[in-house]
Amino acid sequence: MLTEAPTHTHSAVTPLPTGPVALTVNGQRKQLNVAPWTTLLDALREYCNLTGTKKGCDHGQCGSCTVLVNGKRINSCLTLAVMHDDHEITTIEGLAANGQLHPMQQAFIDHDAFQCGYCTPGQICSAVGMMSEGKVKTVADIRELMSGNICRCGAYPHIVDAITEVMQLTPNPELS
């Protein structure tokens, strides 16, 4: 015996709840109207059209989505956009200034610190954030503090060389 599917009494679809969030992204004030569950990563990519920040694992395990929030590095896939109302967000697109690449961006190019390039924006943002933390004294520190950023291509030696140059550390050949 066949039964009919239930009929809906509403003719219009109920809209999803959204709310305003104000972010300063790469120096520009943005007013976004996003659902409360929208991650910062999705807000940047889908609402601000900044696709340099990559969605890798979407679980905070790879670091591809690393951006700077108020100067500190975070995995943007693990935080909601509404949690960053009135915060300063810097993405890979915002590191260059006055037509000049950030020194870390230039060092990654100079040291061929990428292969496929997918992780590179997160690696660079993480390295810039790590520099401002002031905890790096050795190449081993770089390796430890960058361990949250995964490169599936294995460009780690070149990544470390690029960061070492910008931080003006003396490389230790035994650690390379």
- The confidence score (pLDDT) of residue 18 equals 84
CATH 3.10.20.30 boundaries in the chain: 19-93
Distances (CA, A) of 86 to 28, 53, 89: 11, 20, 9
Sign of CA dihedral 166, 55, 74, 27: positive
SS3 120: helix
CATH 1.10.150.120 boundaries in the chain: 103-171
- What are the tens digits of pLDDT across the range 83-92? 999 999 999 9
SS3 105: helix
User: 19-93 has which CATH code?
Assistant: 3.10.20.30
Structure-derived torsion over alpha carbons of residues 75, 76, 77, 79, reported in degrees to the nearest 10 = 100
Give yes or no for residue 8 having a pLDDT over 80: no
pTM of the complete model: 0.87
- What's the whole-number mean pLDDT along residues 6-19? 63
Distance CA 167, CA 154 (A): 21
- The confidence score (pLDDT) of residue 11 equals 54
Helix 120-133 and helix 103-110, axial crossing angle in degrees, nearest 10: 130
Class of domain 103-171: mainly alpha
Within 8 A by CB and 6+ apart from 164, the residues are 139, 142, 171
- What's the whole-number mean pLDDT along residues 105-118? 96
